Amino acid sequence: MRYSLLSRFRGALLGAAIAASLGDRSLNAAVKSVQTQNIESQSGEPQAQKSWIYYPIASAESLIRCRDLDLSDWRDRIDDTGTGKPEIFLERGSCIAALAILPIILFYHENKRLLLEKIEEAASVWPELGEFTDGMLIWGYAISQLLQEKPGRVEEFPKSLIDIVLSGIGTKARKADGQIQALDKIEKLCQQGVSLKTAVNELTAGSSGYMTSIALAFYCFLSTREDFRLSVLRAARTDKDTLLTCILTGALSGAYNSTAGISLSWQMSRYASVQEPVQEMVKLGDRLFAAWSGAYDLENIPLAIDKVAVAVPNAIRPLEGTQGSGGEAA
C-alpha cells in the first residue's frame, strides 16, 4: 500500500476541513490574494472557519457511538450543530451535507452495496437538495476507491478512476447523466493539459448547480493529483460555488495523498485562529478508523494506533522477497 488506510482516513477529513476553510475565506475576499506561502496571514472570521469542523465531527461521533448509521441519532447530532436553522441550511446546505456524509463514506468504504445505500439514506434527510444525492454517490464511490487504491498505477490516472466510478455506480445515480458526461470530459481535459479557465468553461457549459461543483472537483483533483495544496487552490479559483467545490476537492485529494501529502504549515495555518488545533481532526480520524476496524473499547485506543497495519482483506501483502505471509489486523 502506498499509504496506510489510517493516514487516508485522516487525510480525507483533514483535507475537507482545510479546503472548507479556504473556500469560506474566498467567499469574502478575492482568492487571488491568497499567498500560497503565507496563507495563515489572511484575514477571516475564526468562528466561521471553526464551524465547518463541527459537521464531520457530529457525523463521526454518531457512527462511533452507534457502530452504524442510526439515522435518528445521526440527524439529531447534525441538528445540534445549528444545521436546523433554515437560514444556515438555505445558504450552504450542500456544503453541510457533503461534510456530514464524508464520515459515512469512510465508515462503509469497503462495502459498495452498503456504501451507496447509506449515502442515499443520509442524503434523504435533506430532500430539498434533489439531484445532489446522485452527486454524492459519485463522489463517495470515488473516495472509497481511493481509500482502497483501486485505480491502480498512478500513470493510469485519470482514466482508471473515472472508468471505475462509471462502471461501479451504474444505474444507481439515476439522474446523474449530466455528471457522467462531465466525467467523460475530464479525462480529455486532463490529457490536453488545458488551463483552469478553459476547463471551467468546458465543464460548466450546459450544466449548473451541484453537477458543476462535482465535475470541477474531479478536474481540480485529477489534473494535480499529487499536490494537495495546488488542487484546493485551483478549486478556490473556479468561482463556481467555490465553497462546495473546495470541500469536494479537499476530500478527494486528502484521501489520495493522505496526511503525508498535506504540508505541516498548511495543516496548522488553517486553524491558527481557532481554539481547536488540527489534532482534533486527526483524533477524529483515529477514532472513526478504530470503530470501522471493530475495536472493542474505543475509549482506550492505543496511542500508537498509527503503528498498527489494518486494512480490508487481501489489501496487505508481503513485499517481494520477504518470508511469511501477509495478513490483516482486525
Residue 43 above 80 pLDDT?
Answer: no
Total Cβ atoms within 10 A of residue 47: 10
Q: What percent of the chain has pLDDT over 90?
A: 37
Residue 324: is its pLDDT beyond 90? no
User: Greatest CA separation found in the chain?
Assistant: 61
| Close Cβ partners of 49 (under 8 Å, ≥ 6 residues apart) | 20, 21, 24, 25, 270, 271, 273, 274
Selected residue with higher pLDDT from 65 and 305:
65
pLDDT at 132: 83
Residue matched to cell numbers 488506510 = 5
What mean pLDDT value characterizes the chain?
A: 78
pLDDT value at residue 129: 81
The whole model's pTM is what? 0.82
pLDDT (tens digit, 9 = 90+) per residue, 299-310? 665 555 555 566
What is the set of domains in the chain, with CATH numbers? 5-29+41-307 (1.10.4080.10)
End-to-end CA distance of the chain: 17
Q: What is the mean pLDDT of residues 6-19?
A: 93
Looking at residue 251, what is its pLDDT? 97
Task: Kindly report which listed range (161-165, 237-241, 268-272) carries the lowest average pLDDT score.
Answer: 268-272
Q: What's the one-letter identity of residue 242?
A: T
Write down the pLDDT at residue 61.
Answer: 94
Is the pLDDT at 287 greater than 70? The verdict is yes
Residue pair 200/216 in contact (Cβ under 8 Å)? The answer is yes
User: pLDDT-based confidence at 48, cuts 50/70/90?
Assistant: very low
